Amino acid sequence: MNKLILLLGVCLTLSAASSAQEPPQVYPTNWWVGMKYSTPELMIHGKDIGKAASVIVTYPGVTLADWHHVENPNYLFLHLHISPTAKPGIINIRVGSTIIHYPLFARRSGNGTEFAQGVTSKDFIYFLMPDRFSNGDPSNDRIPGLKDQSLNRDSIYLRHGGDFQGIINHLDYLQSLGVTTLWMTPVLLNDMPNRTEHGYAFTDHYTIDPRLGGPQLYKRLADSLHQRGMKLIQDAVYNHVGIYHFFIQDLPEKSWLHQWPKYTQTNYRDQPLIDPHASDIDKKTTSDGWFTRQMPDLNQDNPDLAEFLIEHAIWCVEAFGVDGWRIDTYIYNSLDFMNRCNKALIDEYPRMTMFGETWVHGTANQAYFVRNNLHIPFKSNLMGATDFQCLFSGIQGAIKDTSEWGGGVSEMYNTLSNDFLYEDPMRNVIFLDNHDMTRFFSQIGEDVAGQKMGIEWLLTERGIPQLYYGTEILMKGIDNPDGWVRLDFPGGWTGDSRSAFTGTGLSPDELAVQQVVRALGTFRRGSSALKTGRMMQYVPRKALFVYFRYDARQTILCAMNTGMKPADVDFSRYSQRTAGFTEGVDVVTGQHYPLGQKAEIPGRTMWVLELRK
């Protein structure tokens, strides 16, 4: 049999890798009655299954809509039509002489009203890597038969053993910070030989990684979150898979991948997709180039692959109760496909929300990929973006610039002034750092005061705040190599000498920053102004930047002095928002500031003042 040529990107070929003794596998592994997506396409994978001359479906309320072969005889595709009268049970599908028993389930309790709630500016997201957060069950650290058998906490590249149980054990901690929503790096199986800790190289869409606890524990985690009034975001990857994915090792059709005469990597440039002067080859290289040789680039314009990916997205929401969708490497996907996929999720779950990773260059570039106010031929239906502009042209520069003249805060003011480009900037996810970049504390020169200001900005700015695990306790690391920004969370392993969960062994600075998150995160949970209120910003004066979050019930004044010297705050300048109030109370420290007189804000300090009459 012809094995896949692992030249990775050089004319990948079809193979016949399935064993004759193995029963055929069906994807999705089940479907449900009562779904709006009522004509799912089943992909059947098995030795020579595609050579069958007939397909017969027998089940009340279910009919065979159509079926077809593809290039590889190991695959067969068919559409079932599931009528509203169909009941849960087992569908008999006869493919030639092979009989397949296909489960049709009742839907989850709530039918999307108790889950798929969507993630909005009312939420506070905590983002973590399960392998590096907490090991609640050492028995699943190594799984026999998987290619990666590593387990070494002394290595930044190998697996460390964190899992769902470890997260479940510490949900109290997340809630103590004011967190409402959990986002994890991908949880699907990555049966690759190495670097499996991050999860972004899927090898089976329908298997939850057993090293994390498998499907039952993933469902228990989701249910535990919902019982606490919290939410779950799943990290989706449509652009690529791992080279050891079963449908890469046994490719249904060459057109499932973006094929090149020789290995071609993406140029990592967003401009060709929006540039009216761009060349075709630059556009193609951006969209169709591979991320790495280990991650084949998927062609979502293939109709069978598109249905596979869309159905998997719906399947995950229904099977596990996912509330929101973070979409990896959004700009490198087929954008027409992404609109179609987003719509399918929203049609099925109207409250469902999704935001995309849009690591691009400029506010207009970022707005292009989400719902926007631009008059352009392509109109995205993506609700929000990971707001790299507010990071790189906003808070990062503002905190790093300690000069008296405050060029950094002026750039942040300018970036926010471009919010007119978005249909709703409140849907953007703002953040200080993530798993792919230098940690904020290292980026700002390990300045504790700067870290506090960054966190106070994060929890008061417009949008949906996302905190990367460990930012609350001054975890540091430079992103080259990336393993240094993915270190273990202290206290997550038996025998750890330090614990962020209990405070044991933490320095006074670490405890102080953690307390800022806890105080402001808890306050935000009950603050209508910070969650859904409007924003008004004032032109910075040197290093002093003042903005307000407000609604009919509450007004919050935020004053940030990024310079080293104290700055005068003349509250009368902000009378449009301060009129009728007599004092401001710092929600972190409790200190009172009379609004009828000037105040002095120390250098490297931010105030978050709730105004009172």
Predicted model pTM: 0.96
Mean pLDDT over each residue of the chain, to the nearest integer: 95
pLDDT band at 12 (very low <50, low <70, confident <90, very high): very low
Contact 125, 119 (CB under 8 A): yes
Q: Which CATH class is domain 25-105?
A: mainly beta
Sequence spans of domains, the chain: 25-105, 125-258+298-530, 533-612
Block residue for tokens 């002489």 = 97
* pLDDT higher than 80, residue 111: no
DSSP tag of 372: B
Do 25-105 and 533-612 have matching folds? yes
3-state secondary structure of 105: strand
* 465 three-class SS: strand
**Options 270, 357, 433, 510, the catalytic residue:** 357
Per-residue model confidence (pLDDT) at position 42: 98
Q: Are strands 89-95 and 181-184 parallel, antiparallel or unpaired?
A: unpaired
Instruction: State how far the Cα of 78 lies from the Cα of 57, in Å rounded to an integer.
Output: 10
pLDDT tens by residue, 361-382: 999 999 999 999 999 999 999 9
Neighbours of 422 (CB within 10 A): 22
User: Is 357 among the residues known to form the active site?
Assistant: yes
Give me the amino acid identity at 103: P
**In this model, does residue 322 exceed pLDDT 80?**
yes
Q: Which of 163, 328, 433, 479 is catalytic?
A: 328
552 to each of 120, 529, 577, 609, how far by Cα in Å? 20, 8, 11, 16
- Burial of residue 572 (CB within 10 Å: 0-12, 13-18, 19+) is exposed
Query: Has residue 22 got a pLDDT over 90?
Result: no
Percent of the chain with pLDDT over 70: 96
Q: State both tokens at 149.
A: 């058998």
Phi, psi of 68 (to 5 degrees): -155, 155
Question: Alpha-carbon dihedral of residues 25, 26, 29, 33, nearest 10 degrees?
Answer: -150
In terms of C-beta distances under 8 Å and separation of at least 24 residues, what long-range contacts does 582-591 make, across chains too?
Answer: 582/612, 582/613, 583/611, 583/612, 584/557, 584/609, 584/610, 584/611, 584/612, 585/609, 585/610, 585/612, 587/519, 587/520, 587/523, 587/556, 588/456, 588/516, 588/519, 588/520
Contact present, 439 and 391 (Cβ < 8 Å) = no
Q: What is the average per-residue pLDDT within 262-273?
A: 96
Q: Which fold has domain 533-612?
A: Immunoglobulin-like (2.60.40)
Residue range 67-72: mean pLDDT, rounded: 98
Mean pLDDT of 25-52: 98
What CATH number is given for 125-258+298-530 in this structure?
3.20.20.80
Neighbouring CB atoms inside 10 A of 85's CB total 9
The per-residue pLDDT for 184 is 98
pLDDT beyond 80 at 16: no
